[in-house]
Structure formats: structure tokens, C-alpha cells
Amino acid sequence: MPRAARPEDARFLAWVALASARSHVERGFWDLLIPEGEDERLAFLERMALAEPPSWWHWSLFLVAERDGGPVAALSGFDPADPRFAKPDDAVMAALAASGWSASRTQAALVRGEPFFRCVHQPEPGAWMVESVATRPEARGLGLAHELVGLVLDEGRRRRHRTAQLSLLIGNARAQRVYERFGFAIAAEKRDPAFEAALGCPGIARMMCTL
């Protein structure tokens, strides 16, 4: 049975954030922001998972599925309007500052990330947000993501949200089929040539479903 994440899951959740951002392509947003190496990216995202005030990547927002005694899949669900959580842009900037980045290095990172921002969808008012969905390769095909999505949508219903929203890199057909089983459908797409040149897919789709 999946469980609520714990602070000690932070390293695994860093991998989840990185893998979900890459989706079905080789590079994602975090690769653009931190091109220096995988260890630095994971360390940065681990700090994000533990940072206070909490952000959209905080450990407390995640559900985790385990296999053979260890975490192998996770996702997050949350109300993006909850004032307890730092806005994504503010949280990333704070984490960069906490990591000791200079102003020039931070600016260079934001320039690299700019193509991604062109295709970001803002949260729809009142929607329950589903984010950072990923499963370890050795545990794929076992229905873990399907189970986690069902549970996180149930949580949205308990909190009286009427709709749920998620973002999907265009072309990730396998993930799209999973979400469609729960009633999600593509509501909007943002495409941009610079995004495709940077990440290898046309852009980002916003999927919505009724809860």
C-alpha cells in the first residue's frame, strides 16, 4: 500500500522530480538549469525537498509506493493556491541562493531555462494539482503509477476540489494513456520552437479532469 512520504525519502524524491521533468525525452527543466552534472542536480533537488518554507517539491506533498522494502514510485498532489507553499519561481531562486550561486551564475541558469518557461501552464483556479510522477525503471509495468494517481485524486476530492490539473510533455503517449483512464483530457497546449530545440519535444500540454 502506498504511504505518505517522509523526510528521509528526500533523495528518492529528488530523483522523482528529475525523472518526471525529463518525461520521455533525455533532458528536462532541471538539466537546463543545472547542466554541471547529475550529482549536483540531485543534491539541489534534495535540498528543495527539505527546504522551508515548503515549495511544490516539498517531501510532505508526496505519496510513495514501495517494492522490496524501498521506494520505487511517487507523485505529489497539492492545492497550488495554498499560502503555506512558496511559489515555484521564488522557491527555485531561494534554493539557488542557498546553494551559494553567484548572481551571474543564477542569471545564466535563468537564460538557459527561458525556453521552458515559454510553455508553462499556470494553475487553473480551484484545481487540485498533480505533479512529479515517476517510477523507477525496474518497477514499471506494475500499475504503481496508476494506483498513486487514483489515491492522489481521491485526496483532491476529500479536499473538495472539483477539478484536477497536470502538465504533460507533448508526445509522452504512455503517461497520457494512464491519465486518460482517470478522465483527464488535454485542455490546452503550448508549443514553441525554442522549447523543442532545448528539450526535444514540441511543448507542454495541460490536462484536466473532473473530480
Sequence-distant (≥ 6) Cβ neighbours of residue 176 within 8 angstroms: 168, 186, 205, 207
CA distance 108 to 122: 24
Of 15-29, 66-80, 86-100, 128-142, which range is least confident?
86-100
Q: Provide the number of structural domains found in the chain.
A: 1
Give pLDDT, residue 86. 86
At 38, which CATH number? 3.40.630.30
Q: How many CB atoms lie within 10 A of CB 78?
A: 24
Kindly report the number of other CB atoms within 10 A of residue 32's CB atom.
Answer: 19
Assess contact for 95 and 36: CB atoms under 8 A: no
Instruction: Quote the pTM value.
Output: 0.96
Instruction: List, for residues 192-203, the tens digit of each pLDDT value.
Output: 999 999 999 999
Q: What is the structure's pLDDT at 37? A: 92
Q: Is the pLDDT of residue 87 over 90?
A: no
Using CB atoms within 10 A of its CB, is residue 45 exposed (0-12), middle (13-18) or buried (19+)? buried
Q: How far apart are CA 170 and CA 189, in angstroms?
A: 8
**Full domain range(s) for residue 139:** 3-210
pLDDT of residue 55: 94
